[in-house]
Copies of this chain bind each other. A is one copy, B any other.
Amino acid sequence: MTEATGQATQAVIAAKAASRELASATSDQRVAAIVAIADALIARSDEILAANALDLQAGEAAGLEPALIDRLTLTTERVEAMADGARTVAHLEDPVGLEVDRQVLENGLKLRKVTRPLGVVCVVYEARPNVTIDSAVLCLRSANACVLRGSTTAEHSNRVLATVASEAVAEAGLPAACVSLVQGGGRDELRELGTANGLVDLIIPRGGEGLKKALETVATVPVIYAAAGNCHVYVDASADLGMAERIVINAKVQRPGVCNAAESLLVHQSVAADFLPSALAALQAEGVELRCDGRAAALAGSGVTVVAATDEDFATEFLAPVISIAVVDSLDAAIEHINANGSGHSEAIVTADRTAANAFEDRVDAACIYVNASTRFTDGAVFGMGAEIGISTQKLHARGPIGLRELTTITYLVEGDGQIR
């Protein structure tokens, strides 16, 4: 075993022991630990910013792109935002011990189905150091021990943030190992965490397709992928075209680097000639590159530059001011295209036709389906879940935003007075 291997194993063993103690802690104790983290973030922000400066220095020396440098950067305001976020999570309803079902069986057995913590949740993430704190507090609120595995890019920042959190938890009277960070070791370490059956109850990878693929082939513990969003806006035959243009522009340009941004525009052939000239010009005016199929390209006005779209473009999450555009023959063709190319994240139809809306809702296979609204609303806070640890595009356990409730499991408690079968 390498040193890194030993470190990850030790971390999950300690986390498992801590998780048993955490499961017995009261909601108030967990809230106090989160508030202690928020206070410590403010009190120790100089230390945090100094560590972050080292990562930024290294990142600049390594020639990281400006967008990555921005994600990596912490400021006084961003540290305060982390603390505020922690306080918000502290005040969300306790997701543990909720009674979701209660029955008395014919034989007199009293059965209750109650929510419980998962145990040890491992979060694997990339550049943004605030994920360290966000993950730790969501796990603490749901009484899960958290093992964090950040990227080397944010090594110094993550180490200080995890230490601040872990020490604050210990000062609040809970085991320090409720929050721990493992770093280094690369893919071997990922394999080790992903095969820690009986110790790790869930791994949540937050990152690109590379991370997903790396885990998919090795993981034997349960995984929820907070994965890519190849989201579509479909403009139906009966759409209000002004509304459709506002929605597609918002979905594409308001924040192109996030998973609920639109990556593809589909237009019903009967409205393409009315809709596309104006929509293409408006998208281009917002600085969006237009990758069009033949029929869409033919409708671009003079002064609008389009690129011929490849099949690959329709399957790509650009996370950038780029959009793929196709004209489709029918609602059915749009649904088929989305089910073939989408990633099951967020899909929108713009239509004035209730039947078309129903068909789209019934037959599109995705976590979130929008009728006459932007895909950008897929978000745990927007959906009233308070906060989220990512957006799941898989169907098991959590689909859509992964909030506190999704970080729990259930147990059946069955009480009797001697019943036998």
Q: Do the beta carbons of B376 and A420 come within 8 Å of each other?
A: yes
Residues of B with C-beta under 8 A to A409: 395-396, 399
A373 touches B222 (CB 8 A): no
- The verdict on A109 contacting B377 (CB below 8 Å), with A395-B118, A396-B397, A416-B372 known, is yes
CB contacts (< 8 Å) of A119 on chain B: these are 365, 395
Query: How far is the CB of A219 from the nearest CB of chain B, in Å?
Result: 8
Looking at the complex, which of A57-65, A171-179, A277-285, A356-364 is the stretch in contact with chain B? A356-364
Contacts of A355 in B (CB 8 A): none
Q: Of B105, B246, B369, which is within 8 A of A382 by CB?
A: B105
Assess the A109–B418 pair: CB atoms within 8 A. no
A412-B382 in contact (CB<8A): no
Output the nearest chain B residue to A217 by Cβ-Cβ distance. B220
Contacting pair A419 B105 (CB below 8 A): no
Q: Name A20's contact: one of B240, B363, B374 (CB within 8 Å).
A: B363
The docked-state distance in angstroms from the alpha carbon of A272 to that of B180 is: 42
Chain A residues numbered 114-139 whose CB sits less than 8 Å from any CB in chain B: 118-119
Q: Give the contacts of A358-411 with B (CB-CB under 8 A).
A: 361-363, 365-374, 376-378, 382-384, 394-397, 399-400, 409-411
Whole-angstrom distance between the Cβ of A230 and the nearest chain B Cβ: 13
- Asked if A111 is an interface residue, CB under 8 A from chain B, the answer is yes
Q: With the chains together, A397 CA to B202 CA distance in Å?
A: 12
Contact of A201 among B103, B201, B395 (CB under 8 A): B395
Residues of B within 8 Å of A376, CB to CB, are: 420-421
Chain B's closest residue to A416 (CB) is B373
The answer to whether the Cβ of A247 comes within 8 Å of any Cβ in the partner chain is yes
Chain B residues positioned under 8 Å from A220 (CB to CB): 216-217
**Is A243's CB within 8 Å of the partner chain B?**
yes
A413 interface contact, C-beta 8 A: yes
Q: Do residues A254 and B420 form an inter-chain contact, with CB atoms below 8 A?
A: yes
Instruction: Contacts A109-B377, A111-B383, A362-B23 given; indicate if A399 touches B419 (C-beta within 8 A).
Output: no
Asked whether B369 lies within 8 Å of A411 as measured between CB atoms, the reply is: yes
Are A202 and B396 in contact, CB atoms less than 8 angstroms apart?
yes
- Find the residue from A361, A368, A418 having the highest chain B CB count within 10 A: A418
Q: In this assembly, does A339 line the interface, its C-beta being within 8 Å of a C-beta of chain B? A: yes
Assembly CA distance A262 to B257 (angstroms): 54
A241 to chain B, nearest CB (A): 12
Interface pair A372/B421, CB less than 8 Å apart: no
Contact sample, A vs B, 10 pairs, CB 8 Å cutoff: A243-B418, A250-B420, A357-B415, A366-B411, A369-B412, A369-B413, A374-B419, A377-B421, A378-B412, A399-B410
- Residue numbers of A with Cβ under 8 A of B are 20, 23-24, 103, 105, 109, 111, 118-119, 197, 201-202, 216-217, 220, 222, 224, 240, 243, 246-247, 250-251, 254, 339, 357, 361-363, 365-374, 376-378, 382-384, 394-397, 399-400, 409-421
